[in-house]
Amino acid sequence: MKIVVDAMGGDNAPFATVKGAIEAIKSYGIDIILAGNKLIIENQLARHDYIKEKIEIIHCSEEITNEDRPVAAIREKKDSSMAVALRLVREKKADAIVSAGNTGALLAGGLLILGRIKGIDRPALATPYPTVDGMSVLIDGGANSDCKPRNFLEFGIMGSVYAEKVLGIKKPSVCIVNIGTEEEKGSEIVKEAYKLCKTGPFNFKGNVEARDIPGGYADVMVCDGFTGNVILKLTEGLADSIFKLLKEEFVKNTLRKMGALLLKPGLRDFKKQFDYTEYGGAPFLGVKGVLIKAHGSSDEKAIKNAIRQGIKFIENNVIDDIAKKLSV
Amino acid sequence: MKIVVDAMGGDNAPFATVKGAIEAIKSYGIDIILAGNKLIIENQLARHDYIKEKIEIIHCSEEITNEDRPVAAIREKKDSSMAVALRLVREKKADAIVSAGNTGALLAGGLLILGRIKGIDRPALATPYPTVDGMSVLIDGGANSDCKPRNFLEFGIMGSVYAEKVLGIKKPSVCIVNIGTEEEKGSEIVKEAYKLCKTGPFNFKGNVEARDIPGGYADVMVCDGFTGNVILKLTEGLADSIFKLLKEEFVKNTLRKMGALLLKPGLRDFKKQFDYTEYGGAPFLGVKGVLIKAHGSSDEKAIKNAIRQGIKFIENNVIDDIAKKLSV
């Protein structure tokens, strides 16, 4: 199995991408292609011990930054690490791509270079979402701001295959994120989507209100990319704010400081539940190839875990399974 | 000043509504009308000390429940406490209404009985939102699932008058909730809304990403009612889940239990920041009359604080101010 890593993508590249790739080779025994500037990558590699035969460098003269406009970047920077890595997947020279680079460019590249699975109108980001009850999947995590009702059905199909095959959830429940539990609630599009999902080839459980998301009410939460992005970013922001507030309360006097000291391990365990690096990246489902989007601020651990996700995808034939479900 | 309370509305009515009204009279010296079943209200009043001349009971033979369909309930249950209370405001026999009853029915009643301010297409719920930095306003909190771009402009106008006059925020900043900070981000409707808001009669600050909501980046956060409702309910659900998780971590062993004991006051202060009863209700802005929607699970303190909000509304001529800004 061979996975290509966009070595230049992400806030901590190339340090995190190279180190994460080396760690993944050690843990999972796979082969890695590092796409990016050869000199810079070799410089990073020289700092570590690694199995030389397991790593191939493919030199790219360009780089896509977060400031680049997505579609233009993919079209014009043909020798960028991201575009080159995507072409390697299309040409079957790699089994999957992992990138922490410009999200918009990566999604545009997925569409333009890999293409869509037959029957899928809109590929979507399937984001693992930690809940009190384990892991759920939020789809679409932000690829499509405007969605049609049929897209919700596609998201339900793709999300449930992913939840079952990669996250190991048996007969995952699928819910539409809505502002009430009743069928007639919500926007016009969501109401139409409900009618379609009722007969979808998955375990449809109705609507989930946002209040019940953190409790793990639904295994797969289906929504448009606008709503999904708001949910993900609000979760991130709220967790941050709550930790900040707690910290402030806990240093207000000596007694509280003592208490906080005793609770430090508890707080650390707690914080871990909200740590995205534990879960690796989010797959872009619906394109013809395994594409894992890692968080822009991924460290080496997050990159390694994103690679692990890619491996599970390949081993479990997720893409074939989605295609099969669509053709029924 | 006279405020009518829907005595039968809410999970804790009539106990909380009657007690909250009595407390409000004591604190603010206003007059109260209690609309509802006379016998039941008198029975509640008998338990408390209160100034008799300050309370008037208006008997209503019907009641709107949470199971009732909003528009039908308002149209058919003409002698319900909610419908009667709304008519008292329309007939200027009361200066404001406070209700913790069926949200849909209350909003429908606001539209049908009070009517809209000239120039407002869609009245909206303006929900106070506690942040690390103080209080913000989220508008629309859930009245309109589907919105047109011009509604965002109206929400900005109403929200900024409310933030300034009732919450006391000087020159409040107004932002559109979006999935990126750049002007060209988001859904088609939100992009159009941005263009309109740029020239709106308020302090427009661009987009706010959901990640920056809890930090208090924007004083007034404008969005459609679907997004607003998701934000409010997710905040509620996440805060609940985080407290639950913290509690679990804090009783795992004796040391942690001791630490938690020392931190109890800190945790209490912290929890208070997320306590909706501190802030009272959310006004339904854009109708011809002061309408305060209190949380369905309001206790007496929340009802009292919702009444306090109504008082501030009246004292500061919020509705006249909104009408004036619209006519410019």
Please report the DSSP string for B192-219 in residue order: HHHHHHHTSSSEEEEEEEGGGTTTT--S
pTM above 0.90, yes or no: yes
Instruction: Name the residue facing A186 among B190, B212, B226 (closest C-beta).
Output: B226
Pick from A225, A237, A249: CB nearest B212 = A237
- Report the residue from B131, B224, B263 with minimal CB separation from A260: B263
- Provide the CA B98 distance to its chain's centre, in angstroms: 10
Q: Is residue B3 domain-shared with residue B15, that is, in the same domain?
A: yes
pLDDT, average across residues A116-143: 93
* Pairing verdict, β B31-36 and B134-139: unpaired
- State the average pLDDT over residues A209-227: 96
Average pLDDT, chain A: 93
Tell me the pLDDT tens digit for each residue of A166-181.
999 999 999 999 999 9
Residues 6+ positions from B307 with CB-CB distance below 8 Å? B3, B5, B20, B21, B24, B28, B30, B32, B98, B280, B292
A129 and A252 both lie in a single domain: yes
Choose, out of A147, A249, A267, the residue to mutate when testing the contact with B (most B CBs < 10 Å): A249
> How close, in Å, is residue A279 to chain B by CA atoms?
19
Which tokens belong to A196? 């379609």
Question: What is the rounded average pLDDT of the residues A87-112?
Answer: 97
- Judging contacts by C-beta atoms under 8 Å, the chain B residues touching residue A235 are 234, 238
Judge if A144 and A51 occupy the same domain: no
Residue range of the domain that includes A263: 125-278
Q: Which residue has the tokens 């707080």?
A: A267
Residues A114 and A51 reside in one and the same domain: yes
Task: Give the pLDDT of residue B114.
Answer: 97
- What are the chain B neighbours of A72 within 8 Å (beta carbons)? none
Task: Look up residue B117 and give its DSSP letter.
Answer: P
Cβ-nearest to B230 among A215, A230, A262: A230
Supply the Cα-derived Rg of chain A in whole angstroms. 20
Q: Which two tokens stand for residue A9?
A: 């993508």
Q: pLDDT for A280-318, tens place per residue?
A: 789 999 999 999 999 998 999 999 999 999 999 999 999
B48 and B134 part of one domain: no
Q: Are A194 and A267 within one domain?
A: yes
DSSP state of A110: I
pLDDT computed for residue B71 by the predictor: 94
Give the pLDDT band (50/70/90) at residue B246: confident
**Angstrom distance (rounded) from CA A119 to CA A3:** 26
Cis upstream peptide for B14 (omega within 30°): yes
**What pLDDT is stored for residue A277 in this prediction?**
63
Chain A residue whose CA is closest to B252? A266
Claim to verify: residue A110 and residue A146 sit in the same structural domain: no
The whole-angstrom distance between B97's CA and the closest CA on chain A is 25
Q: Tell me what the mean pLDDT of segment A115-136 comes to.
A: 93
pLDDT at A322 over 90: yes
State how far the Cα of B286 lies from the Cα of B141, in Å rounded to an integer. 13
Which residues in chain B touch residue A267, judged by CB atoms under 8 angstroms apart? 249
Q: Which residues of A touch B231 (CB under 8 A)?
A: 210, 230, 234
Is the same domain home to B34 and B135? Answer: no
Is the distance from CB of B75 to CB of B68 less than 8 angstroms?
A: no
Amino acid at B28: Y
Taking only the tens place, the pLDDT of each residue in B16-32 is: 999 999 999 999 999 99
Residues of chain A contacting residue B188, judged by C-beta atoms under 8 Å apart: 145-146
Residue B60 lies inside a defined structural domain of this protein: yes
pLDDT at A254: 83
3-class secondary-structure state, position B74: helix
pLDDT at A265: 76
Clarify whether residues A150 and A272 are in a common domain. Answer: yes
Q: Which is more confident, A102 or B258?
A: A102
Dist. CA B152–CA A191, nearest whole Å? 22
- Closest residue on chain B to A208 (Cα): B230
Question: Do A4 and A139 lie in a common domain?
Answer: no
CB contact under 8 A, A239 and B242: yes
Task: Judge whether B322 lies within some domain.
Answer: no
Query: Residue B276: its pLDDT value, please?
Result: 59
Residue B122 pLDDT grade (very low, low, confident, very high; cuts 50, 70, 90)? very high
Give the minimum alpha-carbon distance from B310 to chain A in angstroms, rounded to a whole number: 26
The shortest C-alpha distance from A63 to chain B (Å) reads 22
For residue A306, the distance in angstroms to the closest alpha carbon of chain B comes to 23
Tokens of B139: 């508008």
Give residue A110's pLDDT.
97
Helices (H), A77-187: 81-90, 103-109, 149-165
Cα separation, A164 vs A154, whole angstroms: 16
Which residue did the predictor score with more confidence, A167 or B261?
A167
The total number of structural domains that make up chain A: 2
Stretch among A75-84, A95-104, A238-247, B63-72 having the lowest mean pLDDT: A238-247
Res B265 pLDDT > 80? no
Helix (H, G, I), strand (E, B) or coil at A93: coil
- Alpha helix positions (H), chain B: 15-28, 38-45, 70-76, 81-90, 103-109, 149-165, 188-198, 225-250, 254-272, 300-315, 318-327
**Position of tokens 């859904």?**
B187
pLDDT at B140 over 70: yes
Reading the block at residue B152, the tokens are 């965002």
Residue B274 lies in a domain: yes
Does A276 have pLDDT greater than 70?
no
**Confidence at residue A270, expressed as pLDDT on a 0 to 100 scale:** 67
Is the per-residue pLDDT at B210 higher than 80? Answer: yes
Residue carrying structure tokens 């004083």:
B219
Q: Same structural domain for residues A108 and A129?
A: no
Which residues on chain B are in Cβ contact (under 8 Å) with A232? Answer: 210
Contact B132 A241 (CB under 8 A): yes
Per-residue pLDDT band at B242 (split at 50, 70, 90) = confident
Is residue B257 domain-resident? yes
CATH number at residue A173: 3.40.718.10
In a domain, B19, yes or no: yes
- CA atoms of B146 and A6, how far apart (whole Å): 40
pLDDT value for B134: 86
Q: Are A162 and A137 in contact (CB under 8 A)?
A: yes
- The verdict on ipTM greater than 0.90 is yes
CB contact under 8 A, B229 and A179: yes
pLDDT of residue B248: 79
pLDDT at B280: 77
Distance CA B147, CA B163 (A): 22
Is B186–A145 a contact, with Cβ atoms under 8 angstroms apart?
A: yes
CA distance B188 to chain A (A): 7
Q: Give the percent of chain A with pLDDT over 70.
A: 97
Given strand B282-285, what is the order of strands in its sheet?
B55-59, B31-36, B2-6, B96-99, B290-293, B282-285, B124-131, B134-139, B220-222, B173-178, B203-209
What residues contact B67, with CB distance under 8 A and at least 6 apart? none
How many angstroms separate the CA atoms of B82 and B88, rounded? 10
The reply to whether omega before A140 is within 30° of 0 (cis) is: yes
Dmax of chain A from CA atoms? 65
Same domain, B54 and B163: no
Whether residue B136 has pLDDT greater than 80? yes
Judge contact between A216 and B241, C-beta under 8 A.
no
If DSSP codes are grouped into helix, strand and coil, which group holds residue A220? strand
Residues from chain A that touch B187, judged by Cβ atoms under 8 A, are 145-146, 224, 226
**pLDDT band at residue B176 under the 50/70/90 scheme:** very high
Q: CB distance A238–B235 less than 8 Å?
A: yes
Does residue B327 belong to any structural domain of this protein? Answer: no
Residue B238 to residue B257: CA distance in whole angstroms: 23
Q: What is the pLDDT of residue B165?
A: 94
pLDDT at B41 over 70: yes
> Which residues on A lie below 8 Å from B260 (Cβ)?
259, 263
In a domain, B207, yes or no: yes
Nearest chain B residue to A266, by CA: B249
Residue A134: its pLDDT value, please?
Answer: 86
Average pLDDT over residues A14-26: 97
**Nearest CA distance, A24 vs chain B (angstrom):** 31
If you average pLDDT over every residue of chain B, what do you get? 93
**Chains A & B: contacts with CB separation below 8 Å:** 168
Q: Is residue B325 part of a domain?
A: no
